Amino acid sequence: MSDLRVRFAPSPTGYLHIGGARTALFNYLLARKEKGTFILRIEDTDVARSTQESVDAILQAMQWLGFSHDEGPFYQSERFDLYRSKVQQLLENGQAYRCYCTQEELNAKREAALKSGGKPKYDGTCRNRTAAPSADAPFVVRFKSPLDGETTFVDRIKGPITFRNEELDDIIIQRTDGTPTYNFVVVVDDAEMGLTLIVRGDDHVNNTPRQIPIYRALGYPVPEFAHVPMILGADKSRLSKRHGATSVMAYRDMGYLPEAMVNYLVRLGWSFGDQEIFSMDELVEKFSLDNVGKAAGVFNPEKLLWLNAHYIKTGDPERLGELLKEYLANIGVDVANGPALPSVVKTLQERSHTMVEMAEGAAFYFRNEVVFDDDAVAKFLTIDKRPLLESVIRSLEECADWTHDGISLAFKQVMEDTGLKLGKIGPSVRVALVGGTTSPGIFEVLEVLGRKVSLQRLENVLTILK
RNA sequence: GCGCUCAUCGUCUAGCCUGGUCUAGGACACCGCCCUUUCACGGCGGCGACAGGGGUUCGAAUCCCCUUGGGCGUACCA
């Protein structure tokens, strides 16, 4: 165990999206590589927007991706007493103050400042107020940010970053209703949980100089920071639903494998020479913040798809078979009385880009009734094909060795008998067996389908020839 | 507007720190050819980038400055 302590801290206001998954991945990888500790924390201080469904969805996605945590999940909503005591501490030290300005006043001031070309920051009206306007006046608590000087931190990805303190605002740390806000609780928790390195999205760099003074005011050590670049859509704007699916689990539903998602995500912004394919073990060994790029990256679904096809192609047929069962069930196909799933998988691995595609391509193995494509039937199952099909049936009935090679021999016989090339025979047999013109190789289909079902389907087709 | 930040093929990136080995390498996508019983897989080849302008230097993708463009922030959201 090293002393590295990192965390993933999503707010449960929706599903786990691509960007969140990547920061979770980077944290997870770092923790495993350094034999440190990976903490999961749920940031649900915004009680109105946080939901249990979101928590469940995020947990489920983390599990699917294989990001196991060592501590947590901790819920900020269960730690309000801690935060309140810290707010109290700052209030007593004079490092925070009550602010009685109403939101309307604040908005008006902001707009006025913006209009006159100034900064839309809090003007400090209540910073030096000596008494409350009235005993029961509602208030928020603001943190006294330093007025001058500058705040600098060395980002592990971006290098040194400096802000002039006059740019900082007296941020609200406790709302009118008494609940604490993000920028405050994140400091308290990151410190109380002993985090040594904060790896989070780029969108937080501006928060960092506002958080550092809070660490200091509370007497906490300031951790290291690493801000990972954002993920953009094809139009270079921030990735959002209008760019397509952004939910990690939506990709599972579309037939993606978790290892493909992980591999794609890690290569978006990180590289290891020219290597494209990484197993999780390899990532734990090779990942480093040193080769994480500074620039935002565009999410490229095509490359994800390519990786998915790669992992399907090289995946274990047993495991893929189990997964296939679920995808088949989703399209109403029961596998109970069909061929063994691993053998089905083997015929489709090389031609499937997603598990959904594989399920669609595998359905014909399991359906009792072949679903015929009209165009295919019109073209390849015409009445003149009857002698050919009868020859195929005869030859297959005599086939003693029902394997790919044995079936191949049977077809050689047909070719001799009819004088036709396989190109003239195959398509009709294919349509008879699967109903359409695309499928795995017909010898494989015959082998996996089995002698009985294959001959049944061929004979059945004799009755529908036109 | 202000602040922070980023900038190599359409996209992900290698190279940049420690200038010359870069007529800039790999991958996805795209195009072509080959393989082939369909669809795919695969193999081979092609197209394609150092944002622009100054400077430093014998020499710059690599160092410095400016411009332009993008992203993020500017909430009693996180």
- CA A33 to C1' B20, in angstroms, rounded, equals 38
Residue A40, strand partner residues: A8
> What band does A229 get if pLDDT is binned at 50, 70 and 90?
very high
Protein residue closest to B25, using CA and C1': A274
How high is the pLDDT of residue A283? 97
Q: Which nucleotide is nearest to A184 (CA to C1')?
A: B78
- Dihedral of CA atoms A203, A208, A209, A214 in degrees, nearest 10, equals 140
Complex ipTM tops 0.90: yes
Q: Give percent of chain A above pLDDT 90.
A: 83
pLDDT tens for A183-202 read 999 999 999 999 999 999 99
- Residue A180 pLDDT exceeds 80: yes
Residue A190, C-beta contacts closer than 8 angstroms, at least 6 positions apart: A7, A198, A223
Q: Among this protein's residues, is A241 annotated catalytic? A: yes
- CA A274 to C1' B35, in angstroms, rounded, equals 28
Protein residue closest to B36, using CA and C1': A423
Residue A384, C-beta contacts closer than 8 angstroms, at least 6 positions apart: none
Region of poorest pLDDT, from A98-112, A164-178, A298-312, A317-331: A98-112
The residue annotated as part of the active site, out of A35, A119, A241, A379, is A241
Mean pLDDT of A273-283: 96
- CA A408 to C1' B35, in angstroms, rounded, equals 19
pLDDT tens for A106-165 read 888 888 877 777 778 888 888 888 777 787 889 999 999 999 999 999 999 999 999 999
- CA A158 to C1' B56, in angstroms, rounded, equals 26
How high is the pLDDT of residue A301? 96
DSSP per-residue letters across A118-161: ---S---TTTT--S-SSTT---EEEE---SSSEEEEEETTTEEE
Q: Which nucleotide is nearest to A234 (CA to C1')?
A: B11
- Residue A365 pLDDT exceeds 70: yes
Question: Looking at per-residue confidence, does A242 or A84 come out higher?
Answer: A84
- Residue A235 pLDDT exceeds 80: yes
Mean pLDDT of A353-379: 94
Distance of CA A98 to the CA centre of its chain: 42
Q: Which nucleotide is nearest to A294 (CA to C1')?
A: B6
- CA A18 to C1' B36, in angstroms, rounded, equals 39
Region of poorest pLDDT, from A102-116, A173-187, A191-205, A330-344: A102-116
pLDDT tens for A444-465 read 999 999 999 999 999 999 888 7
Pairing of strands A224-228, A197-201: parallel
- CA A234 to C1' B28, in angstroms, rounded, equals 14
- Residue A325 pLDDT exceeds 90: yes
How high is the pLDDT of residue A42? 97
Q: Which nucleotide is nearest to A169 (CA to C1')?
A: B74
Q: Give percent of chain A above pLDDT 70.
A: 100
pLDDT tens for A418-442 read 888 899 899 999 999 999 999 999 9
- The answer to whether A355 and A386 are in contact (CB under 8 A) is no
- CA A293 to C1' B23, in angstroms, rounded, equals 28
Rounded to the nearest integer, the mean pLDDT of chain A is 94
d(CA A320, CA A323): 5
Q: Which nucleotides of B are covered by protein (CB under 7 A)?
A: 1-8, 10-15, 25-29, 37-41, 70-78
Q: Both tokens of residue A322? A: 């189990």
How high is the pLDDT of residue A1? 57
